[in-house]
Amino acid sequence: LHRELSRSLREELDLGGEAANALRFARESAGDPGVVVPRVHPERSAGRVLCLERIDGERLPDWLAACDGRGERGLAERDRLLGILVRTTSAQILERGFLHADPHPGNFLVVEKAHGPELAILDFGAVLEIPVARRHAWASLVLDGAARDVPRTIALLEALGFSAGGDRT
């Protein structure tokens, strides 16, 4: 636990690494509609300073809480935004293999646009790279689980590092 916390803290405090992560995330998310990533200002950044574009938006939990009060339009916008969140998270995990690894509500803003809300993703101090073989295993896990192939699902869970003790039927 100590080793992992130390590693994670060093990663979070590496602003040069965070800038590189933000640049990569923006590049890889460029074709993902509805996703906003703050632009890095390298000319204003240094070893202990990271300058990013300011994004004006509403905190995700506050925006979601207000959706019910906006009637049918609010519910449709909520569904659109949550669709963006699910789609971009799935793409990070299963397609790109480069994952924002600190997805708490404070790292998301909702940006209102004329065509509907967009999701701004913030804070790239913690990211995770997922190798191709592991991404394929996760995709297979979803498909085998949906097909109710219990033996294959258990085998994949074990291959991914989960313990599948107990009854295997």
> For residues 6 and 23, what is the distance between their CA atoms, to the nearest angstrom?
24
Residue 32 is among the residues annotated as catalytic for this protein: no
Which of the 8 DSSP states describes residue 135? Answer: H
In order of 4, 32, 125, 128, 132, the CA distances from 7 in angstroms are 5, 30, 12, 13, 23
Identify the active-site residue in 32, 102, 123, 144.
102
Identify the residue whose tokens are 């074709």: 31
- Around Cβ 141, how many Cβ atoms within 10 Å? 18
Residues with active-site annotation: 102
